[in-house]
Structure 1
């Protein structure tokens, strides 16, 4: 007679830790909306090379450094509305409204 070791249940994958940039963007949006950060969903977050110092969010009448800038674009959702946060070149994530 052989004894069998019961199979252990498959382990669920551990979610990747949230990046600091995403955590900052989530906290900022929650603060703006007066909600808990847990109510903010991360739709996407990706590294991106911005074409200039506007970090993809130019303001009329402003001039920007004309150089490629490494950064991130994070899209968050709260209450059915999506919000884009941009960062790069040492700048903290900011809500891009343009």
Structure 2
């Protein structure tokens, strides 16, 4: 993964899959998804992991009726696959990866 980031739009600066064996964000997302689905983490594959700069505090996952900080926030977008379906995990600032069911970016 590169250390550069794109300044706006939640655009990835890298799209190379990057499994993180140290228990970093990718492994936390993978473990969370495996627990949600009731499968072994080995059945969850990393499609991509990229650093992004989110355009606001929604971290690319806005919820209806919510108001978000209007500031650029460095974070990550992790796409996992299990059972033929893709799942998007977003993180940013001090928030760890979370499942984003309706990603906006």
What displacement does 1:88 show? 0.5
**In the comparison of the two structures, how many residue pairs are matched?**
83
Task: Give the alignment partner of residue 75 of structure 2, picking from 42, 59, 71.
Answer: 71
2:54 aligned with 1:55: no
TM-score normalised to structure 1 length: 0.82
Task: Determine the C-alpha separation between the residues in 2 that align with 1:75 and 1:26.
Answer: 9
Q: Distance in 2 between matches of 1:52 and 1:17?
A: 26
State TM-score, norm by structure 2: 0.76
Uncovered stretches (5+) of structure 2, i.e. residues with no partner = 1-17
Cross-structure match for 1:28: 32
Larger Rg: 1
If asked which structure has higher relative contact order (CA below 8 Å, sep 6+), I would say: 2
Does the residue aligned with 1:72 lie in a helix, a strand or coil?
A: strand
CA distance in 2, matches of 1:49, 1:55: 9
Aligned to 1:45: 49
1:17, CA displacement in angstroms?
5.8
Instruction: Flag structure 1 segments of 5+ consecutive residues without an equivalent.
Output: 1-15
